[in-house]
Structure 1
């Protein structure tokens, strides 16, 4: 049973990694993700998941928005992958981090290599971790001067997403719906395409050459 995301308790492991004069706190699930496939794609990345992994992703996303001093890590490369996704690009892990950390994606490989077992901990996120934002807030992302977009890079077989709380919050309602509503909806209408479309990079007329617009397409999938 998946706990509704009105409030979510998450069992995690927390590792503290020191590199030079910097110290990083990394939060990851206490249990390995059982089913899911995150793949590099031509226009960004594709994530296939079931209801349990969808709830994990939504929880990790809400935590990343509210934990400016932590790196949230979802190791999904070793998860059982959907058969229908086997033709996509290389499999990836996922890292979510607040931009205040200023962690270059190129440093992630070193951090990951020093995680160790980590210490067990329980995180509880309140209902406000998945805000339903008004349409006007979503329209603002198209303004030329808007800066709260999610930056993305792929490094060490990992999709690294970096942004402000605002950037993460604008996408949380999609992920909440995917986790809470899609399983019941697909039980009634099995052939429905149920997904979240997460905008990455700066959209609008002026694009960043180093961080072009892309999409993380998150799709609810069955085992077969």
Structure 2
């Protein structure tokens, strides 16, 4: 896998942060805060970009991987009830201890950056049968994802193992969804879900929806 990106070094206050963003930004990828849950929509192109960037995040403990997607048009039928809020996405390791309150200033200081091509192995995530799902319920287990929202951006925070194991779930959008859409070309529904912590809650301790629902949009109609 390869991904063209721009790399930015931004100094805010007393800290310097490395931000990596794809070039171009994924066009067929949308994230909405529906207030009840977080709803993402992706076609095959968008899903492939998401999986590549997720794999990059798993290997980039010192970087913020930034997906500027909140200006993307929403596919037909995607908008939920009420007035959903479009969000960007940042993938970041918890070891970086990035203060999300600083994100607005970091984003404003990105500038042009420098172009780079990244590479990750074709299979950077474990097979499903290699994951011990039961250990996630142990009190000592720390490799969970966490969600936070700041400046119209969803922060997905985790360790390298957390990103890799949940990346296996994401790969279902590429490995299973297109075949499912081909078998059943009607208005089917193929999705995967990511949740923080050991079990699903309506909202997490930061009052962010506790479920990221990612739906495969085989036909992206605007």
Q: Which moved more, 1:128-137 or 1:157-166?
A: 128-137
2:77 maps to 84
User: 2:161 matched to 1:160?
Assistant: no
The runs of 5 or more residues in structure 1 that have no matched partner are: 1-7
TM-score when normalising by structure 2: 0.88
2:46 maps to 53
Matched ranges for 1:1-224 at <5 A = 8-87=1-80, 89-134=84-129, 137-191=132-186, 192-203=188-199, 209-210=205-206, 214-221=210-217, 222-224=219-221
Cα gap change, 1:91/1:210 in structure 2, threshold over 3 Å: closer, same or farther? Answer: closer
Q: Using the alignment, how far apart are the partners of 2:205 and 2:135 within structure 1? A: 21
1:67-98 CA distances to partner (integer Å, 9 max, x unpaired)?
Answer: 10110011111112112112351000000001
C-alpha contact (below 8 Å) 2:148/2:208 kept by paired residues: no
Cα gap change, 1:136/1:220 in structure 2, threshold over 3 Å: closer, same or farther? Answer: closer
C-alpha contact (below 8 Å) 2:27/2:72 kept by paired residues: yes
C-alpha contact (below 8 Å) 1:142/1:204 kept by paired residues: no
Q: Which moved more, 1:36-45 or 1:21-30?
A: 36-45
Cα gap change, 1:66/1:87 in structure 2, threshold over 3 Å: closer, same or farther? Answer: same
Q: Using the alignment, how far apart are the partners of 1:64 and 1:45 within structure 2? A: 20
1:108-164 CA distances to partner (integer Å, 9 max, x unpaired)?
Answer: 111111111211110010134222243662222122332211111111001001111
Q: Using the alignment, how far apart are the partners of 1:168 and 1:210 within structure 2? A: 20
What is the Cα-based RMSD across aligned positions, in Å?
2.2
C-alpha contact (below 8 Å) 1:14/1:121 kept by paired residues: yes
Cα gap change, 1:32/1:210 in structure 2, threshold over 3 Å: closer, same or farther? Answer: closer
Q: Using the alignment, how far apart are the partners of 1:51 and 1:22 within structure 2? A: 37
Q: Using the alignment, how far apart are the partners of 1:213 and 1:201 within structure 2? A: 12
Corresponding residue SS for 1:127:
coil
Q: Using the alignment, how far apart are the partners of 1:208 and 1:36 within structure 2? A: 24
Q: Using the alignment, how far apart are the partners of 1:69 and 1:170 within structure 2? A: 19
Q: Using the alignment, how far apart are the partners of 2:153 and 2:17 within structure 1? A: 17
Give the number of equivalent residue pairs: 216
The runs of 5 or more residues in structure 2 that have no matched partner are: none
